[in-house]
């Protein structure tokens, strides 16, 4: 892989040039320049260490270039440019061999850390990604859908880059929200069977409450209503059913979770109490106004937080701390949590409380998944959370399909608001970027079928006389394919899955250009085989990129009912 060759090369070059230090190598940043004239790879290392080395940037760059170990099979040119950039240019032989190497690496399987695009950057670092974690009080909404797409993609990206990452879903099945659910369903049920019962203030609204009430057995429900703890029965019955809905929808959507952890487990196991005592033992608690507080201000929070209310019940914070402590105890070295936009106020308190418990300051990383505005006909789709009327994950899957939904959610950076154009997503034509990428994949599959009918397959070689990739469109495409591992590495490192769809759209565009300029299957057998391998390598890269996004890569695509018009 090019990235590791460059990294190793600079370690060697720094030593040979008498400029070695661990810290300088750590500052090495390799990038693929957007301007082709600046080569295929570039680094500003000389600019960064010039001051420290006491020499002008260009002199440092010249020294590094002179000392850089040459591999003519990989790079034909290493140049110093501008104020001191070092630019690398691929050798023709490297580009010619690239398709074969990509095909040898094969399909990407993130969980197995295998395939073209994977590289062991992290040596199995245990990372946990907690995402969605919706309350079990209703169907999953569009922000949940966005979080599901992003979280699942992050898990795959992390595994592809040598982390050992698991997805996890935290179920808030204790506390006031699910109690309120129980009260709401109990009231709806009572309504159904003709027993007067007040609907709770701020109770949950929406059609699904009636569905739940209908599903619950009239016999058991009536008995439960009569008992003292009727609401607990309704709460438990309802949240299990809602959890089943959520699990089913997420599985269908392709978001996988290694574990579903319940808040109630933490209470039952004594983890919450143990956390409280651990905080107390560390001198981080105090009593005031009848409540128990944790000294988070000592660790960067703007106020201390209540962990046990004057009623004796814990606030949300305590089980949250217990949960994250449990993650650490299970061997995860890092936790990436995806939270909704209305929860950013919880970041500082939780981080501070975890430190109060002795966890590393950077153990927890929180990504905010920003809100989604659904647009239809250029207008926002009206949703009323109060009335329980909103578009659900299931609605989205039925309307535009899981592939398209995931592609759209992953197109934008996670922490920016997203305007989701439903009309565009519904369109099955070239304006829809999801189809654009999938179409390129299907088109290549079609070319391969066409070639196979003529006895040509990418695995065949014409022999020593086989031509290289000479046409500009071929070279542009090969260079684009070579960039894929770096997109995966950068996307994982920056937690930015949106780089994948952007790259795939570019790759598809470059392929289409190649297709128009270069006839793949022709009378020239040797040339046909070389181009067929390039096309197949492109198909594999598109497949691998889509796989990281959780989007299918179809062999064929047919439009729905358009011939009729």
Residues numbered 315-354 forming contacts with RNA, rule: CB under 7 A? 315-317, 341-346
Q: What x/- string results for residues 425 through 464 when contact with RNA is judged by CB under 7 A?
A: ---xxxxxx-xx--x--xx-xxx-xxx-------------
In the window 61-120, what residues touch RNA (CB under 7 A)?
81-83, 85, 87
CB 383, CB 390: distance < 8 Å: yes
Please tell me whether residue 364 adopts helix, strand or coil conformation.
strand
Identity of the residue, 149 or 190, whose beta carbon is nearer to RNA in the bound complex? 149
Taking CB under 7 A as the binding criterion, the range among 19-27, 35-43, 355-363, 463-471 that sits at the site for RNA is 35-43
Among 223, 387, 416, 526, binds RNA (CB under 7 A): 416
CA angle 369, 371, 377 (to 5 degrees): 140
Q: Does 421 bind RNA (CB under 7 A)?
A: yes
Identity of the residue, 98 or 318, whose beta carbon is nearer to RNA in the bound complex? 318
Identity of the residue, 235 or 443, whose beta carbon is nearer to RNA in the bound complex? 443
d(CA 210, CA 155): 36
Q: How far is the CB of 374 from RNA (least distance, A)?
A: 11
User: What Cα–Cα distance (Å) separates residue 520 from each residue in 98, 259, 448, 474?
Assistant: 17, 47, 10, 11
User: What Cα–Cα distance (Å) separates residue 494 from each residue in 35, 362, 367, 417, 488?
Assistant: 22, 15, 11, 18, 10
Q: What x/- string results for residues 351 through 390 when contact with RNA is judged by CB under 7 A?
A: -----------------x-xx-------------------
Q: How far is the CB of 237 from RNA (least distance, A)?
A: 20
CB under 8 Å to 321, separation ≥6 — which residues?
275, 279, 307, 350, 353, 354, 357
Taking CB under 7 A as the binding criterion, the range among 100-108, 206-214, 218-226, 284-292 that sits at the site for RNA is 284-292
What are the structure tokens assigned to 512, written together? 């289409």
In the window 114-173, what residues touch RNA (CB under 7 A)?
135, 172
Q: How far is the CB of 159 from RNA (least distance, A)?
A: 18
In the window 459-498, what residues touch RNA (CB under 7 A)?
486, 490, 493-496, 498
Pairing mode, strands 418-421 and 372-376:
parallel
Identity of the residue, 111 or 452, whose beta carbon is nearer to RNA in the bound complex? 452
d(CA 206, CA 191): 15
Among 13, 187, 250, 418, binds RNA (CB under 7 A): 418
Which residue has 């990604």 as its token pair? Answer: 129
Identity of the residue, 223 or 387, whose beta carbon is nearer to RNA in the bound complex? 387
Identity of the residue, 324 or 499, whose beta carbon is nearer to RNA in the bound complex? 499
CA angle 123, 537, 111 (to 5 degrees): 30
Residue 33 CB neighbour total at 10 angstroms: 16
Identity of the residue, 85 or 221, whose beta carbon is nearer to RNA in the bound complex? 85
Taking CB under 7 A as the binding criterion, the range among 68-76, 222-230, 246-254, 502-510 that sits at the site for RNA is 502-510
Q: How far is the CB of 527 from RNA (least distance, A)?
A: 11
Taking CB under 7 A as the binding criterion, the range among 185-193, 213-221, 231-239, 418-426 that sits at the site for RNA is 418-426
In the window 176-195, what residues touch RNA (CB under 7 A)?
176-177
- HEC profile of 293-332: EECHHHHCCCCCEEEECCCCCECCHHHHHHHHHHHHHCCC
CB 148, CB 341: distance < 8 Å: no
Identity of the residue, 345 or 463, whose beta carbon is nearer to RNA in the bound complex? 345
Identity of the residue, 108 or 317, whose beta carbon is nearer to RNA in the bound complex? 317
In the window 532-561, what residues touch RNA (CB under 7 A)?
555-559
Taking CB under 7 A as the binding criterion, the range among 29-37, 150-158, 240-248, 267-275 that sits at the site for RNA is 29-37
Size of the residue set binding RNA (CB under 7 A): 99
DSSP H or E stretch at residue 31 = strand 30-31
Beta bridge partners of 322: none
DSSP H or E stretch at residue 334 = strand 334-339
Among 66, 519, 524, 526, binds RNA (CB under 7 A): 519
Q: How far is the CB of 28 from RNA (least distance, A)?
A: 10
Q: How far is the CB of 321 from RNA (least distance, A)?
A: 12
Q: Does 33 bind RNA (CB under 7 A)?
A: yes
Among 412, 480, 539, 543, binds RNA (CB under 7 A): 412
d(CA 353, CA 246): 30
Q: Does 512 bind RNA (CB under 7 A)?
A: yes
Among 56, 106, 107, 175, binds RNA (CB under 7 A): 175
In the window 220-279, what residues touch RNA (CB under 7 A)?
none
Identity of the residue, 190 or 503, whose beta carbon is nearer to RNA in the bound complex? 503
* C-alpha closest to that of 178 among 235, 263, 133: 235
Phi then psi for residue 373, to 5 deg, are -105, 115
Beta bridge partners of 306: 293
Identity of the residue, 152 or 404, whose beta carbon is nearer to RNA in the bound complex? 404
Torsion sign (Cα): 211, 212, 215, 217: negative
What are the structure tokens assigned to 323, written together? 């949960």
Q: How far is the CB of 404 from RNA (least distance, A)?
A: 10
* C-alpha closest to that of 78 among 36, 33, 38, 28: 38
DSSP 345: G
């Amino acid at each position: 892989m090019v990235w590791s060759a460059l990294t190793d090369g600079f370690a060697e070059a720094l030593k040979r040039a008498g400029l070695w230090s661990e810290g300088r190598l750590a500052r090495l940043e390799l990038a693929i320049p957007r301007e082709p004239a600046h080569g295929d790879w570039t680094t500003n290392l000389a600019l960064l260490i010039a001051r420290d080395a006491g020499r002008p940037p260009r002199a440092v760059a010249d020294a590094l270039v002179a000392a850089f170990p040459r591999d003519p099979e990989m790079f034909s040119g290493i140049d110093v440019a501008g104020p001191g950039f070092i630019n690398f240019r691929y050798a023709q032989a490297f580009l010619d061999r690239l398709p074969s190497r990509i095909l040898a690496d094969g399909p990407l399987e993130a969980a197995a850390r295998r395939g073209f695009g994977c590289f062991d950057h992290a040596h199995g670092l245990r990372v946990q990604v907690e995402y969605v974690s919706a309350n079990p009080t209703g169907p999953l909404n569009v922000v949940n859908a966005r979080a599901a797409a992003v979280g699942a993609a992050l898990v795959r990206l992390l595994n592809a880059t040598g982390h050992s990452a698991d997805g996890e879903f935290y179920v808030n099945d204790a506390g006031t929200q699910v109690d309120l659910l129980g009260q709401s369903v109990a009231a709806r049920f009572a309504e159904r069977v003709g027993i007067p019962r007040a609907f709770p203030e701020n109770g949950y609204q929406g059609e699904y409450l009636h569905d739940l009430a209908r599903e619950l057995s009239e016999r058991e429900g009536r008995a439960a209503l009569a008992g003292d703890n009727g609401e607990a029965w309704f709460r438990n019955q309802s949240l299990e059913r809602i959890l089943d809905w959520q699990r089913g929808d997420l599985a269908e959507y392709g978001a996988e979770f290694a574990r579903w952890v319940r808040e109630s487990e933490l209470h039952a196991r004594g983890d919450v109490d143990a956390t409280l005592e651990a905080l107390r033992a560390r001198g981080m608690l105090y009593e005031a106004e009848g409540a128990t507080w944790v000294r988070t201000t000592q660790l960067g929070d703007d106020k201390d937080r209540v962990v046990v209310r004057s009623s004796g019940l814990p606030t949300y914070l305590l089980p949250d701390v217990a949960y994250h402590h449990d993650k650490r105890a299970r061997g995860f070295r890092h936790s990436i949590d995806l939270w909704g936009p209305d929860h950013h106020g919880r970041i500082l308190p939780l981080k501070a409380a975890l430190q109060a418990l002795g966890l590393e300051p950077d153990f927890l990383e929180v990504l905010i998944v920003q809100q989604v505005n659904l647009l239809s006909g250029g207008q926002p789709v009206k949703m009323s959370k109060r009335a329980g009327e909103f578009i659900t994950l299931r609605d989205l899957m039925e309307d535009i399909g899981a592939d398209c939904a995931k592609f759209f959610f992953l197109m934008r950076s996670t922490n920016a608001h997203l305007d989701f154009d439903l009309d565009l997503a519904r369109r099955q034509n070239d304006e829809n970027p999801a189809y654009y990428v999938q179409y390129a994949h299907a088109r290549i599959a079609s070319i391969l079928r066409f070639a196979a009918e003529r006895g040509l397959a990418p695995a065949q070689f014409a022999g020593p006389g086989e031509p290289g990739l000479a046409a500009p469109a071929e070279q542009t495409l090969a260079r684009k394919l070579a960039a894929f591992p770096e997109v995966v590495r950068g996307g994982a490192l920056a937690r930015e899955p949106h780089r994948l769809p952007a790259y795939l759209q570019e790759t598809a565009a470059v392929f289409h250009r190649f297709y128009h300029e270069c006839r793949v299957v022709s009378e020239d057998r040797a040339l046909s085989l070389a181009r067929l391998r390039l096309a197949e390598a492109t198909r594999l890269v598109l497949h691998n990129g889509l796989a990281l996004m959780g989007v299918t890569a179809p062999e064929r695509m047919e439009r729905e009912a358009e011939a009729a018009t």
